[in-house]
Amino acid sequence: MKRARSERKITSFFKAKVIQKSNDGEHDSNEPEKHPGTSTSTAVGPYIEADVAVKEHEDEELSSTPGTLTLPAAPVDVASFIGNKVATDAEIMAIIYQKAPSAELLPLCDEGGHRRRFQPIWCSTYPWLKYSQLNKGGYCIACVVFGGDTGGLGDQRLGILVLKPMCKYKKATEVLSNHNARGYHAAAMSKMEGFVYTVRNPTRAVDTMLHSKRKEQVETNRRLLVPVIETILFCGRNMLPLRGHRDDGPLDLSVPSKTGEGIFRALLRYRAQGGDSDLTHLLISSVSRTGISTLISKTIQNELIDITGRLVQEEILAGVSGVYAVLMDETTDVSGKEQATIIIRHVKEDVKEDFLAFVHAHDLTGEGLAQLLIHAVEGLGLEMLKCRGLGFDGASAMMGKFRGCAAIIMQQYPLAKPIHCFSHRLNLVLTKACDVKEVKLALQTLNEVYNFIHSSNMRTLRFTKLVKLSSAKREKLVPLCPTRWVERHDAVLVFIEFLPLIAIFLEDEMKLDANAGLLLAAIRDPRFLVGLVVAESVLAHTLQPSRILQKKEGDLVCAYALIREIGTLFAKFRADAEVYFHAVFVKAEDLLVEVGSAHDGIPIPRVCARQTQRANVPAASAEEYYRRSVYIPFVDHVVAELKSRFDDDTVPVALQLKELLRGSKANVDAVLKATKLYESDVESLLLVQTETHRWTCSAPAFESVKKAKEYAEGPYVFEHREAPYHPTDPASLKCRSRTIVLSPETPEDIIEEHHRSGSPQRPRTTRRP
């Protein structure tokens, strides 16, 4: 017995020595000698082997898993998971694949006079069993990490192998076998196996599978939505309405198309029948299964239209850099709502004019419209501080001097100069001028003739056939537009061209309709012909400005200059009315003959002492009478209206700046005066003055700002002129000039030398090849 005790005492020398580290860095004298290649970890011996085991198993078990699982650098103890269910996947995997410690490194425990220790072979029989160096006992890793604190009959609080270590080993085999048979243990094992499988196969994880399934569903939905979007864009590009009388619910391809289905659903049906598999799958699924979104409802259509509008706005706004101008007009739509139209004008290599948005206008006062415009522009991501122009009509709510929209905006943003729409101004000029009675009656008669011919399909066909037999350049009459005077120009010019044919046509139609005789008598009336020809003589000169003002890229400065030139021309017509009206009167007499009038020349209307319904002017001849009663009042109205409506201060400033594009030397003082208005937009007024002097001394004449910009950015061959030069003035071609070749590398002294020396030659401007 004593010997046995003595033997037991001898085995105590085989206890695992703990490697300790002193404060001064020296190790315990009992520390075993380290051999090359052994671990230098400061942990207990069993953890050294466990750590090495995990490192070895990493290549064996975890290397096949997609992705990278970074194992913890420090060893993991199973007891650290008790009461702490938050752990990383790497920590759990490290403890699951931890190898059992060596038997000789495990401590002995006294049990009733017997010394026993944890047996590593138990870990081979029960892989879930792990030894804890911290608590000196065994634990079930599955129940500790994946199980609960209660289990068994009545959900009793668990003890050995779960919350407490197994540190008594007399009946260890029986305890382990009973624990392995428990239901809560089986459930925990199932969870642990699923966890290991998930770590080894990340693509099979529940969250990953849900994410992949959702991603797949999103991609499928987007693919199914493509034909719907393309159909909406097709309708938008071709200005086709989407809605029908009844267009709700799923679209059943097996049922024939219904009346009032709408263009959108009809196009979807056509696409599906044409072999669009994605669209066919979408439509069939929405019909066969309830609760499936059709993606073609009016709500989806409106959302897609709004998204498309925002994308278009973003593309337009992306090209707006620097300053810009805003145009706004207000009108009532078919539903009775007041809609404000927002349009932006900016420069991107050339003048661009783009529609931005419709905004519902609740408040139509000047203050309300001003706030609406400011909020709309800022809501689109633009800065009102960069706005340099406002384009409105002449309504008092817009252009009122004190409480108008423009005046209120100018108080906050002084550089946002308001300009009354030029096209609208020109329309008002012509409308006011056409109040002259003979001209007004002539236009009314013209409109009645047009309505008579085109109110019947048979009359239209007969008139078209008559036109084709003639040598006329046009094919049909043009109606009088009540708002756009650019259309009225064409209407008057075409009507005069067709006038002999119209007379023949009305004479033939008298057999079928008595109204044709009344209209024929009206167009043979000398007063009608004089009024029509007088209107033509004016509208022929205003046609070109009207067309320029209708273009998106129209140059406002060029239009303004052209209108002022027209005003000067009409003033000349007024001063020499006898000379210019004579040609008009002769044309009216020729038309009188062509329409087959019974009058032998244009007579003087009856004149009496008192008349209120027509002009009562003394005249010795018919030409003098119509000149004084029709031509002179009409021209006077045009001159007065042009002078009063085109007196804007902002546009002359732009005209002064455009002097830089002309061939002659610009007035530097006028340019600086114009530049001072936008002093905040330039770096220095002195720099502008210097560059203006240099530019006007050497640059040739340009047709547009774009040409001038190309010239300034690239090397050009141009002439230095000692006398003013204009391309339309032949005398200026005789001025002395010398060719200078400029490039970005040309020194200033060489340029000056070229200016001082050279030979006379013809002025020319060419790009260097």
Least confident of 294-308, 348-362, 607-621: 607-621
Model confidence at 518: pLDDT above 60: yes
For residues 279 and 227, is the Cβ–Cβ distance under 8 A?
A: yes
Q: What is the pLDDT of residues 719-760, one digit of tens each?
A: 443 434 333 343 333 333 333 333 334 444 433 444 444 433
Tell me the pTM: 0.56
* pLDDT reported for residue 89: 77
Model confidence at 154: pLDDT above 80: no
Q: What is the pLDDT of residues 680-720, one digit of tens each?
A: 777 777 787 787 777 777 777 776 666 777 777 665 444 44
CB burial of residue 228 (10 Å; 0-12, 13-18, 19+)? buried
Which residue, among 531, 526, 529, has the nearest Cα to 433 in the 3D structure? 531
**Backbone angles phi and psi of 419, in degrees to 5:** -135, 125
Which amino acid would we find at residue 597?
A: S
Cβ neighbour number for residue 719 with a 10 Å cutoff = 21
Mean pLDDT, the chain, rounded, equals: 75
* pLDDT reported for residue 726: 39
25 DSSP assignment: S
d(CA 540, CA 56): 97
* pLDDT reported for residue 465: 87
How wide is the angle at C-alpha 753 spanned by C-alphas 752 and 754, nearest 5°? 90
Model confidence at 62: pLDDT above 80: no
* pLDDT reported for residue 666: 59
Q: What is the pLDDT of residues 565-594, one digit of tens each?
A: 888 888 898 888 888 889 888 888 888 888
For residues 639 and 567, is the Cβ–Cβ distance under 8 A?
A: yes
Q: Residue 353: which residues within 8 A CB-CB, separation 6 or more?
A: 327, 343, 344, 345, 552, 553
* pLDDT reported for residue 567: 86
Q: What is the pLDDT of residues 309-368, one digit of tens each?
A: 888 888 888 888 888 889 888 888 777 888 888 999 888 777 788 888 888 888 888 888
d(CA 163, CA 157): 9
The token duo for 519 is 């209209």
Residues in the chain: 769
Model confidence at 553: pLDDT above 60: yes
- The neighbouring-strand residues paired with 390 are 326, 418
First to last CA, the chain: 118
d(CA 505, CA 125): 115
Residue 577, classed as helix, strand or coil, is helix
27 DSSP assignment: B
User: What DSSP string describes 162-177?
Assistant: TTB-B---TTHHHHHH
* pLDDT reported for residue 208: 64
User: What DSSP string describes 705-761?
Assistant: HHHHHHHHHS-EEEEEESS---TT-GGGGGS-EEEEEE-TT--HHHHHHHHHS----
Which amino acid would we find at residue 729?
A: D
| pLDDT class of 205 with cuts at 50, 70, 90 | low
Residue 105, classed as helix, strand or coil, is helix
Model confidence at 544: pLDDT above 70: yes
User: What DSSP string describes 244-309?
Assistant: -SS--S---TTSPPPTT--HHHHHHHHHHHTT-HHHHHHHHHHHHSTT---S-SHHHHHHHHHHHH
Which residue, among 146, 286, 179, has the nearest Cα to 228 in the 3D structure? 286
Model confidence at 101: pLDDT above 50: yes
Most confident of 11-20, 289-298, 341-350, 672-681: 341-350
For residues 138 and 132, is the Cβ–Cβ distance under 8 A?
A: yes
392 DSSP assignment: E
Which residue, among 376, 357, 240, 379, has the nearest Cα to 306 in the 3D structure? 357
Model confidence at 10: pLDDT above 50: no
Which residue, among 527, 435, 451, 518, has the nearest Cα to 491 in the 3D structure? 451
Can you tell me which residue has the tokens 């400029």?
742
| pLDDT class of 48 with cuts at 50, 70, 90 | very low
* pLDDT reported for residue 1: 39
Cβ neighbour number for residue 64 with a 10 Å cutoff = 9
* pLDDT reported for residue 757: 42
Model confidence at 294: pLDDT above 50: yes
Q: What is the pLDDT of residues 80-100, one digit of tens each?
A: 888 765 677 788 888 888 888
d(CA 389, CA 414): 10
* pLDDT reported for residue 483: 65
Rg for the chain (alpha carbons), in Å? 48
The token duo for 208 is 């990953």
* pLDDT reported for residue 484: 66
Model confidence at 156: pLDDT above 70: yes
Model confidence at 628: pLDDT above 70: yes
d(CA 507, CA 519): 10
Better-predicted residue by pLDDT, 206 or 81: 81
Q: What is the pLDDT of residues 361-389, one digit of tens each?
A: 888 888 889 999 998 888 888 888 888 88
Model confidence at 459: pLDDT above 80: yes
* Residue range 396-408: mean pLDDT, rounded: 86
d(CA 345, CA 464): 42
Which residue, among 491, 540, 527, has the nearest Cα to 630 in the 3D structure? 527
